[in-house]
């Protein structure tokens, strides 16, 4: 039986993440997708837990000051140094977050490293490093967060993969990068399938050519060549990727899980 439609007016909340505790990984750089996401989430009322392997007191102060300046008030922020390659580090960070805020409601994993090069030139060390950060690291931080989400039977995970995972490398990433991000897509879908009965959602975003430090390796000619192949004829802004994270983290995406969201300007339409 379908529920009858209520005659009561809908309640709309302008702040999509009001009082939600959101863990954002990879937000130490003010040019990063992680930082843009932290800023946007704070503007929508979130309490922030920012994790980064580079985090220190100076970076934490810079991030907090920048967010406060941009949104007009100082949100609650816990900034922690965390190497997601270590499960113990991830467990400790999540424990500190729950000790501070009582729980966590959302995880957005933006951490990742990229390296180009032909497959035959990739060394064993390079392969291991890419896999450790991009795939194992994602697995570790998701596992730590899921211990909390499973207990409360609620939570949302947003992982960042890459266009490279869909098209098979190229642009700014080699085969090892593409493979690691392909693993992130499969991992996220596996989490979505396993934990959906507990009310936990997991989705993945595949960005391409976002205006961050990852584009620094391209010269002007290379960048213009890439842009010429993008239907929207520009690279994306970090805030535009953050907007997709906001949607997936919020109740607006309450019936969305296991999805792959493309934020690529139309360069890969499939």
Residues facing 210 on adjacent strands: 236
Q: Which domain holds residue 212?
A: 21-261
pLDDT in tens, 135-165: 999 999 999 999 999 999 999 999 999 999 9
Predicted confidence (pLDDT) at residue 214 exceeds the cutoff of 80: no
From the candidates 12, 35, 127, 177, which is the catalytic residue? 177
11 lies in some domain? no
Predicted confidence (pLDDT) at residue 13 exceeds the cutoff of 70: no
Q: How far is CA 8 from the centre of its chain?
A: 36
Predicted confidence (pLDDT) at residue 62 exceeds the cutoff of 70: yes
Quick one: pLDDT band at residue 67, thresholds 50, 70, 90? very high
14 lies in some domain? no
What CATH number should be reported for the domain holding residue 76?
A: 3.40.50.720
25 lies in some domain? yes
Nearest of 78, 154, 75, 143 to residue 109 by alpha carbon: 143
Q: How far is CA 84 from the centre of its chain?
A: 13
13 lies in some domain? no
> Is 177 annotated as catalytic?
yes
Number of domains in the chain: 1
177 lies in some domain? yes
147 lies in some domain? yes
pLDDT in tens, 76-123: 999 999 999 999 999 999 999 999 999 999 999 999 999 988 999 999
pTM of the full structure: 0.93
122 lies in some domain? yes
With vertex at residue 41, the alpha carbon angle to CA 70 and CA 270, rounded to the nearest 5 degrees, is: 115
42 lies in some domain? yes
Nearest of 158, 190, 181, 182 to residue 256 by alpha carbon: 158
């Amino acid at each position: 039986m379908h529920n009858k439609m209520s005659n009561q007016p809908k309640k709309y909340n302008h702040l999509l993440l009001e009082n939600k505790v959101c863990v954002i990984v990879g937000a130490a750089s003010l040019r990063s997708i992680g930082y843009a996401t932290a800023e946007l989430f704070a503007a929508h009322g979130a309490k922030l837990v920012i994790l980064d392997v580079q985090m220190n007191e100076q970076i934490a102060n810079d991030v907090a000051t920048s967010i406060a300046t941009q949104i007009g008030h100082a949100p609650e922020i816990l900034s922690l140094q965390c190497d997601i390659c270590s499960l113990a580090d991830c467990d400790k960070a999540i424990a500190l977050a729950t000790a501070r805020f009582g729980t966590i409601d959302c995880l957005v994993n933006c951490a990742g490293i990229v390296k180009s090069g032909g497959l035959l030139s990739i060394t064993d060390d390079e392969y291991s490093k890419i896999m450790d950060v991009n795939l194992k690291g994602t697995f570790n931080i998701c596992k730590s967060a899921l211990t909390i989400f499973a207990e409360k039977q609620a939570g949302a995970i947003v992982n960042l993969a890459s266009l490279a995972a869909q098209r098979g490398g190229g642009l700014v990433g080699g085969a090892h990068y593409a493979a690691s991000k392909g693993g992130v897509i499969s991992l996220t879908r596996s989490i979505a399938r396993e934990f959906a009965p507990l009310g936990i959602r997991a989705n993945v975003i595949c960005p391409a050519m976002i205006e961050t430090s990852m584009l620094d390796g391209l010269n002007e000619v290379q960048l213009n060549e890439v842009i010429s192949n993008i239907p929207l004829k520009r690279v994306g802004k970090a805030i535009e990727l953050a907007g997709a994270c906001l949607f997936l983290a919020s109740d607006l995406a309450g019936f969305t899980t296991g999805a792959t969201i493309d934020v690529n300007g139309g360069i890969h339409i499939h």
